[in-house]
Amino acid sequence: MHSLFELQNLRAVIPSSKGNLVLVDDVSLEIRPKECLGLLGESGCGKSSLLTAALGLFQITHRFKDAKIRQDWIFPFQFEYESEETWNNTVTGRSLYRGVDLLSLSSIERARYLGSHISYIHQALASALTPIFSIGNQTSEPLEIHQPDMRTEKMRERVFDYLDLVSLADAKERYVLDPGKFSGGEAQRIKIAMSLIAAPYLVIADEPTSALDVTVQAQVIGLFRMIKKEFNLSVLIASHDVGVIADLSDRVAVMYAGRIVEVGPAKEVFHNPKHPYSQGLMASFPTIQMMRMAAGGERRRLRGISGAPPNPREIPEGCAFHPRCPFATDLCYTTKPRVANLGDEHLVACHRYHECPHEISSISG
């Protein structure tokens, strides 16, 4: 099928005097028209870095994050950035939107696509909205940039329509308020309205439900379901939450230590995961069957994955998952697994995918 957005051999590193930190390592993925692709992995596996690298925002995000604050009496807060040259070639590979490589464009050319063709809802809920501008003002910003000829009155109506769409209560009265007057769930819905207002073809959301309580999470998931159905656009959702990904995705890509270790149709990846990491993630997720068994007196334990994702400065040799993998052999310690095609668009990178137990129950104890 023709892809809308395609990553080819994407790699992103942070330069450092103690050695480069590899955050994204040779990732190839595609997103098709009208599909929802779920990007699943624990925190620290490189999901956010992948998204920012794909959109040409990696350097600016990390240069800012890594800037040192220099304080002196005259200018108390000055930021010292690493030099521009240090960051050259830190992102390599291609990020193709309808065949156009976003990474080969200047930032001004790329801005033509961001916000209008592709929207990005980034993770940090608290800092996503500018505290000094009203939410009406911020929601209309994509229109001001991408449709500058639109009349102010029409723009305001469009803002109300989209704030209504995401069920923001009393939008017509509250659109003049600043973000501090809204709850976390409302702020997330405002960001979703903002991401849709310029009618993009692809919405990318990074951990859209993190830091929200469960009822608000359910509302946000409901909103994404509505977006998929009513707007017919493509969605890429990155989350550590197996439930969120299971709820929304048509296909799933599992990420570990900067690499995609398994990708396939959601049903296949959830019911027949082949990579031990995917199996571990699924086994750490409570199922209805498990709850029924617990209610009937039969106890069944959830089992997590021992250990934690590796520090990007110290990615293990061979298969990066080997220190945590119950099935690792000598080969896994020395040789990176190649991607095997299992048919029906199911791909996995593991030396022992055909030997590892297929039933989740076998590792969920």
Residues forming the site for ligand SF4 (CB under 6 A): 275-276, 319, 321-322, 325, 327-328, 332, 337, 350-352
User: Cβ 242 to ligand SF4, closest distance in Å?
Assistant: 18
Nearer to ligand SF4, 193 or 356 (CB): 356
User: Cβ 356 to ligand SF4, closest distance in Å?
Assistant: 6
User: Cβ 207 to ligand SF4, closest distance in Å?
Assistant: 25
Provide the 10 A C-beta neighbour count for residue 48: 21
Nearer to ligand SF4, 224 or 321 (CB): 321
| Distance, CA of 111 to CA of 18 (rounded, Å) | 34
Nearer to ligand SF4, 44 or 337 (CB): 337
User: Cβ 287 to ligand SF4, closest distance in Å?
Assistant: 23
Residues 296-322 as b/e (b if ≥16 CB within 10 A, e otherwise) read eeeebeeeebeeebbebeebeebbbbb
Nearer to ligand SF4, 7 or 332 (CB): 332
User: Cβ 265 to ligand SF4, closest distance in Å?
Assistant: 21
Helix (H) or strand (E) holding 230: helix 214-231
Nearer to ligand SF4, 134 or 272 (CB): 272
Please, what is the Cα angle at 325 between 12 and 123, to 5 degrees? Answer: 40
For residue 170, report the phi and psi dihedrals to the nearest 5 degrees. 50, 45
Nearer to ligand SF4, 136 or 276 (CB): 276
| Distance, CA of 365 to CA of 361 (rounded, Å) | 7
User: Cβ 351 to ligand SF4, closest distance in Å?
Assistant: 4
β-pairing verdict for 91-97 and 100-101: antiparallel
| Distance, CA of 25 to CA of 53 (rounded, Å) | 11
| Distance, CA of 160 to CA of 66 (rounded, Å) | 38
